Amino acid sequence: MCGRYTVTPPSAALEARFEATFAGPSAPNYNAAPSQQLPVILNTDPGRIQLMQWGLLPGWVKDAKKAPRPINARAETLSEKPSFRTLLQRRRALVLADSFYEWQITDHGKVPHRILLNSQEPFAFAGLWDEWLDRQTGEVLPTFTIITTAPNSLMEPIHNRMPVLLPDRSAELAWLDDGAGVAAHQELLRPYAPEAMREYVVSTLVNSPAHNEPAVLEPAA
């Protein structure tokens, strides 16, 4: 799964990298967690970076308080679940990041790792999004989820899943392209090349989203 990640580059760097403009101010996030407002680019508005809540609340849900809000969706079963299948067709997103965290289960407890590209450049997770309408207040709540896939050889010793990192700019544009078709979109949902990534152990500071500062990125002592 993917339950925590980082978005540390300045807004201007993200705008240049993804050829899009922030809709509003955005601060670096060293410990992005579910329920937070985080930067995404939607297939319906590819020139804008907007903040949306992590944890998918589908538009068909009647009671938002009781509904589960999945932070991840399995790539292998997207076409089998009606709610995800519809979003795969109509509502795809780039979820902006520059690393993610995963916890390895060991004899000494769960050990957090930070995983990033060798280049340390920002990248995009493949995501799905939706909007939920509160019929009492008229408020619209946009939310997203991150797609996961089987681990590559770097991730396999750490966890049995990994988020889908789109490999390059052409893949990002193809993911946003409504004309590409479901089969082409599904083809993009593959494990990232392990030789292009690296990982290291970080301290347990990351265990709490309250710790959202550069110290979270430091290698464990």
Residues with catalytic roles = 2, 102
Q: Considering all CA atoms of the chain, what is the largest pairwise distance in Å, rounded to the nearest integer?
A: 51
Nearest to 83 by CA among 70, 96, 94, 64: 70
For residue 198, report the phi and psi dihedrals to the nearest 5 degrees.
Answer: -145, 165
Nearest to 24 by CA among 6, 9, 35, 39: 39
- Structure token pair of residue 129: 């999004």
| Buried residues in 104-133 as b, exposed as e (16+ CB within 10 A) | eeeeeeeebbbbbbeeeebbbbbbbbbebe
Please tell me what DSSP assigns to residue 210.
T
